[in-house]
Amino acid sequence: MITRRQVLAAVGVSSTLAGCPAVFRGEHVVTLSDETTIEIPASPEDVPVSNGDRSLPSDIGENIHTEVTLGDRVTGDSPHDVRILNPLGVPEIYVGIVDLAADSVVYDERHPIPEDKKLQITLLEHSDYLVAVSVPEIERQHTVRVPCDYFDCNDSTTYIGIDEDGQISSSIFREAVACPSPC
């Protein structure tokens, strides 16, 4: 597993060799394999949990095209699902996930997702995550935070999708009723 420090060291070396100094905004920048960067500010709480778009239809792609499970279940609490929707039908979506507590990139992959299906990534480890979705074809990126306290005894899901205008929107749903935070 590559740590964020290893990624940053490689980015610094490659940027210097290319004749351009690395530019770091906030505290850290992680560059994933498709050149997508995830900015990690000094206070990760500054990254939004969603962009507030509740219009993102959760029923798009009832069928899961690809399912990925990350981590080991350490408690009996529910995991957190991240569902990537592609109603625009772009040919490929890139997903990067950084575990802030472990200081590492835990996922860094491209996916073709048919417009009537979805990618589901299940996060088992209780932690704070940043999830970046990049769509090279339309030159868009969106990063959201999944806080550790969203891993509770009920269901919680982050939805991220590309709408017909080419905008990437996100919303998070959870049922935090009578559940102590695992963090």
Q: What is the pTM of this model?
A: 0.76
- Tokens standing for residue 11: 């980015």
56 in Cβ contact with 120 (< 8 Å): no
The pLDDT score that the predictor gives to residue 50 is 82
Residue 141 φ/ψ, nearest 5 degrees:
-145, 150
| Residue 105 contacts residue 4 (beta carbons within 8 Å) | yes
CA angle 45, 47, 92 (to 5 degrees): 145
Residue whose C-alpha is closest to residue 127's, from 95, 105, 160, 159: 105
Is the distance from CB of 156 to CB of 81 less than 8 angstroms? Answer: yes
The span from the CA of 69 to the CA of 95, in Å, is 14
pLDDT tens, position by position, 13-61: 333 223 322 333 345 677 777 677 777 777 778 888 887 665 555 555 5
Picking from 48, 1, 20, the residue whose alpha carbon sits closest to that of residue 171 is 48
Instruction: Give me the tens of pLDDT residue by residue for the chain, a chain 183 residues long.
Output: 444 443 334 333 333 223 322 333 345 677 777 677 777 777 778 888 887 665 555 555 567 888 899 988 765 567 889 999 888 888 889 999 999 888 888 999 999 888 878 899 999 988 899 999 999 888 888 999 998 888 766 778 899 988 778 888 888 887 766 666 667
pLDDT of residue 177: 64
What gap in Å lies between CA 90 and CA 104, rounded to an integer?
Answer: 28
Tokens of 15: 């940027």
pLDDT at position 18, please?
32
Distance CA 73, CA 35 (A): 31
